[in-house]
Structure 1
Amino acid sequence: MASDTTASEPLLAASTDAASSPKPELNPKTTHVEFSGVPGALGISIGLPILIYVLYYAIEGPEKFESLRNVFDVEALAAYLAWFFGLVVLFYIVPGPVLEGTVLRDGTTLMYKMNGLNCYLVVIAVLIARGFITRGDLPEFVFIAEHLLGLITASIGCSFVLAFFVYFKSFQKPGKTILAYGGNTGKPIFDWFIGRELNPRLGMFDIKFFCELRPGLFLWTIINAAMAHAQWKRFGYISDSMVLLNLFQFIYVVDSAVLERKNLTMIDITTDGFGFMLAFGDLALVPFTYTLQTRFLAKTPVNLGVYGTLGVLALKVLGYYIFRSSNSQKNAFKQNHPSAAHLKFIKTKTGSKLLADGWWGTARHINYFGDWLMSISWCLPTGFHTPVTYFYSLYFAILLIHRETRDEAKCSEKYGKDWKEYKKQVRWKIVPFVY
């Protein structure tokens, strides 16, 4: 999905001799299910698409209910398909290095083409060229503003289609296809929702890895730019709050594209299957809920002024510093870097070390706290006119708490009594002195 938050297990894995260990089953049956199993999967699969429409009308206002006839918009569907498959074409034709992924359960590795940043730069270059050609008129941006509801429906529809495609594809090579640990229950609805196959691919084209960054995150910034364009067309200027949000979120996406290779170690890639949950999150939830702020500002400009701008910037910088600094400290500890030699740790029976000092002595998932602070800085530029524009920060808090729960369960199972001792030394989970 749309955060570069990495799993925050504060450990340095030690080398172990696995030669004497029995070869594990390739695709063990899933015994533990998340989201209450089938009922939760059904509820989320129905509820989240409805939520996106509710948020759309909450921003646009009751007068837009007359646009129900535009829910199914053929032009918007064609535009969305052109966008999605255009990015697929760029994946193949734009150059980029090819890197090896993590070792899979069968001992093999997959190769990944890292051209996300180059593809994004091509998209930006095309839009800039269009801006010069149309003298700032940019009919593409006007189309997005006028067909947003249809684009929402198109993205949701594509999420369902893609989820069904990868689900049925996972049965093509029984016994050879690596399934996700969490998506092999034998219950079709749940496995379709959570993701049955770990790495659905068409040749070298990795569907999950592609969707993680490109269709949703790139579209997110394009919608933001279209909303700035709409504000300018409507009011004759672009507010400082709109500039700030476009800048923040553009930097976030560029940063994600620059660090695309880090996705190879994210839990979404290494552990989770690709089903409706990730497809919907990548294609629909990210571009059409993360843009609520700029969509609101396109209709209701908010002027922050110098002090308001500086305050929001300060919160953003603080969150970014905590997030990057804590992750860098963890990586230095893992790599035995001299800068981390003084940090205290707990030696576990597995031979691993649990970092219990520095940032990671403050909270067990301190990087999540920094990420959440940044999410607030994305909402504050809209002022306090409506709680709708704070949806992202609320959703992100729920997402991080859910991920923290998964991390805790994994570590508890892996380290046993050592993890209990670690929790005694590092009391707080995410927010120091609060949670």
Structure 2
Amino acid sequence: MRREEKEFGGTPGAIGLIIFSHFVPFYLALSLQYSSGGLYFPSSFDTLIQNFKETCLPTWSAFFLYTGFCLLQLIFAAILPGPEVKGLPVPTENNRQYTYKCNALASWYATLLLVAILHLTGIIRLTILADQFGSVLCVAVICSDIISVIIHFYAIQTKQTCRMTHSPIYDFFMGVWLNPRIKILGQDVDLKMLAEVRLSWLLLFLLIIPAALKQYEAFHTISWPMIFILTAQLLYINACMKGDECIPTTWDIFYEKWGWMLIYWNLAGVPFVYAFHAYYILVNSLRTHKPVEDTSTIFIIILFIVLFLAYYIWDSSLSQKIRFRMQEQGTYISRNAFPQVPWNVIKNPKYLKTECGSSLLVDGYFKYCRKPQYTADICMAMCWALSCYQWAGILPYFYPSFFIGMIVHRYTRDMARCAAKYGEDWKIYCTKVPYAFFPGLI
């Protein structure tokens, strides 16, 4: 069997990314607390430690909030209704096709209903997540690290490993277990799919709602930048939930192993880093005592137009590609979850047959460029940052900068993998579709 090639710079790169990934969310949390989301420069190491203790030290309430949320999603994944779809054949497991219960939409609605009841009755006010943002973050980081260690050694002990390099730190970073599953109430729950769709994006939404609530409590109104962030995140998260039957055929599920990289960023990195914009708007509106200071109506309208256009291209292009793949595999199902955007399925699509058996789509958006969904995703990321335009800070632009670097690296990884898989057919495909992100430019 061909040895797994190392990515991200091998072991040194893995170590660097683990350190950097731990640094980023805590730095952002401290910047919100002590610099109103601006660059944070503690006067001394002792000050840094004191600030960390005041803001990010874990508490029992933070522990129960975070672990309770995760356990609730595990139970929902096991018991709530949803269609079952088969994933792609797994070459390392004799082309076995795993079955995935796609009930993220039911979990999404059930969670929103439950947290609304808890908040309105005063049993658990959602604003506690804003008040203990740093503490919940610390609990999430600790839990993600512990789970990464458990998953790694359990997979090795039970011989459920694949594509290992036998470089311990690198294998821990990338993962060794492709399809981690546990039984909950007698039902198989896929941990990787659960973490990617629900523990990351659903928690993100539960973190940004409190920011809006805190702003409303302070001013009895919600600013347009905050409304924009809520709208943008709601569209994105709802799309992940309503189309979860498409996720089993994606690269993260089919190819990526469930190691520290995916575990950490799904359980801690994504929800707490991506929530920064909402809290940046909150703390600066509180600092200036004006939630709508210098808000340009024209600029906000332009942002909404760009957001809706980018969202439409992102949603429909992803749907075209994944549902084409599902039709090819015979696993396609039709769903009516809201909203189903137009042109999300191509009738009689044109495609390039390859010698390895699978086909390459050259129709719809994909006759113009190879990754239209990446371009739309980058546009949405920039919109999130630009919603913070009222205050001249640079940290809101960390996310789009980080995202662009990540998505370009992901693209190069995907291109290398496809070139190895398709051979000469890939060269033909690249001739037919020469542009990567934007037709006529790049």
TM-score bin, normalised by smaller chain: 0.7 to 0.9
1:326-347 Cα shifts (integer Å, max 9, x gaps): 3455467665988455x5x655
Measured in 1, the distance between the counterparts of 2:4 and 2:117 equals 53
Amino acid at match of 2:147: L
Deviation at 1:295, TM superposition (A): 0.4
1:114-139 Cα shifts (integer Å, max 9, x gaps): 222212212211222234324xxx85
The reply to whether residue 283 of structure 1 matches residue 263 of structure 2 is: no
Measured in 1, the distance between the counterparts of 2:321 and 2:84 equals 26
Deviation at 1:289, TM superposition (A): 0.8
Partner residue, 2:332: none
The reply to whether residue 126 of structure 1 matches residue 114 of structure 2 is: yes
What are the within-5 Å matches in structure 2 for residues 420-435 of structure 1? 420-435=427-442
The reply to whether residue 247 of structure 1 matches residue 220 of structure 2 is: no
Match of 2:153 among 168, 181, 203: 168
Match of 1:321 among 312, 316, 326: 312
The reply to whether residue 79 of structure 1 matches residue 65 of structure 2 is: yes
Measured in 2, the distance between the counterparts of 1:109 and 1:427 equals 33
Q: In 2, are the aligned partners of 1:29 and 1:185 still within 8 Å (CA)? A: no
Match of 2:281 among 269, 272, 297: 297
Deviation at 1:225, TM superposition (A): 0.5
Measured in 2, the distance between the counterparts of 1:425 and 1:123 equals 45
Q: In 1, are the aligned partners of 2:119 and 2:126 still within 8 Å (CA)? A: no
Q: In 1, are the aligned partners of 2:246 and 2:323 still within 8 Å (CA)? A: no
Partner residue, 1:56: 29
Amino acid at match of 2:423: G
Match of 1:190 among 153, 170, 173: 170
Query: In 2 relative to 1, CA 98–31 (structure 1 residues): closer, same or farther, beyond 3 Å?
Result: closer
1:358-379 Cα shifts (integer Å, max 9, x gaps): 5334322222112211222222
Structure 1 counterpart SS, 2:125: helix
TM-score, length-scaled by structure 1 = 0.83
Measured in 1, the distance between the counterparts of 2:102 and 2:273 equals 27
Partner residue, 1:69: 53
Structure 2 counterpart SS, 1:205: strand
Partner residue, 1:410: 417
Measured in 2, the distance between the counterparts of 1:229 and 1:388 equals 23
Measured in 2, the distance between the counterparts of 1:346 and 1:124 equals 43
Match of 1:393 among 380, 383, 400: 400
Structure 2 counterpart SS, 1:202: strand
Deviation at 1:312, TM superposition (A): 0.9
What are the within-5 Å matches in structure 2 for residues 325-336 of structure 1? 325-330=316-321
Query: In 2 relative to 1, CA 113–139 (structure 1 residues): closer, same or farther, beyond 3 Å?
Result: same
Range moving further from structure 2, 370-379 or 70-79: 70-79
Amino acid at match of 2:231: L
Measured in 2, the distance between the counterparts of 1:83 and 1:329 equals 33
Query: In 2 relative to 1, CA 274–379 (structure 1 residues): closer, same or farther, beyond 3 Å?
Result: same
The reply to whether residue 237 of structure 1 matches residue 254 of structure 2 is: no
Measured in 2, the distance between the counterparts of 1:326 and 1:300 equals 36
Structure 2 counterpart SS, 1:61: helix
Q: In 2, are the aligned partners of 1:290 and 1:392 still within 8 Å (CA)? A: yes
Range moving further from structure 2, 58-67 or 261-270: 58-67
1:354-406 Cα shifts (integer Å, max 9, x gaps): 44565334322222112211222222211152121122212221221112112
Range moving further from structure 2, 227-236 or 153-162: 227-236
Structure 1 counterpart SS, 2:370: coil
Query: In 2 relative to 1, CA 223–32 (structure 1 residues): closer, same or farther, beyond 3 Å?
Result: same
Partner residue, 2:79: 93
Deviation at 1:38, TM superposition (A): 1.1
What are the within-5 Å matches in structure 2 for residues 351-366 of structure 1? 354-356=360-362, 359-366=365-372
Query: In 2 relative to 1, CA 426–29 (structure 1 residues): closer, same or farther, beyond 3 Å?
Result: closer
Amino acid at match of 2:381: S
Structure 1 counterpart SS, 2:257: coil
Measured in 1, the distance between the counterparts of 2:300 and 2:126 equals 26
Range moving further from structure 2, 212-221 or 262-271: 212-221
Deviation at 1:223, TM superposition (A): 0.9
Q: In 2, are the aligned partners of 1:155 and 1:284 still within 8 Å (CA)? A: yes
Amino acid at match of 2:170: F
Partner residue, 1:16: none
Match of 1:309 among 282, 291, 300: 300
Partner residue, 1:19: none
Show structure 1 runs of 5+ residues with no match.
Answer: 1-27
Query: In 2 relative to 1, CA 338–189 (structure 1 residues): closer, same or farther, beyond 3 Å?
Result: closer
Number of residue pairs matched by the alignment: 398
Measured in 1, the distance between the counterparts of 2:247 and 2:318 equals 14
Amino acid at match of 2:176: R
Amino acid at match of 1:246: L
Show structure 2 runs of 5+ residues with no match.
Answer: 41-47, 286-290, 329-344
Query: In 2 relative to 1, CA 414–130 (structure 1 residues): closer, same or farther, beyond 3 Å?
Result: closer
Runs of 4+ in 1 over 6 A off after TM superposition: none
Amino acid at match of 2:203: L
Measured in 2, the distance between the counterparts of 1:353 and 1:201 equals 29
Match of 2:102 among 89, 106, 114: 114
Query: In 2 relative to 1, CA 107–347 (structure 1 residues): closer, same or farther, beyond 3 Å?
Result: closer
Q: In 2, are the aligned partners of 1:220 and 1:290 still within 8 Å (CA)? A: yes
1:285-318 Cα shifts (integer Å, max 9, x gaps): 1111111110011112364453223211111122
Pick 1 or 2: higher relative contact order, CA cutoff 8 A, min separation 6. Answer: 1
Partner residue, 2:426: 419
Query: In 2 relative to 1, CA 333–95 (structure 1 residues): closer, same or farther, beyond 3 Å?
Result: closer
Measured in 2, the distance between the counterparts of 1:102 and 1:49 equals 33
Q: In 2, are the aligned partners of 1:221 and 1:249 still within 8 Å (CA)? A: yes
Measured in 1, the distance between the counterparts of 2:301 and 2:116 equals 29
Structure 1 counterpart SS, 2:317: helix
Amino acid at match of 2:74: V
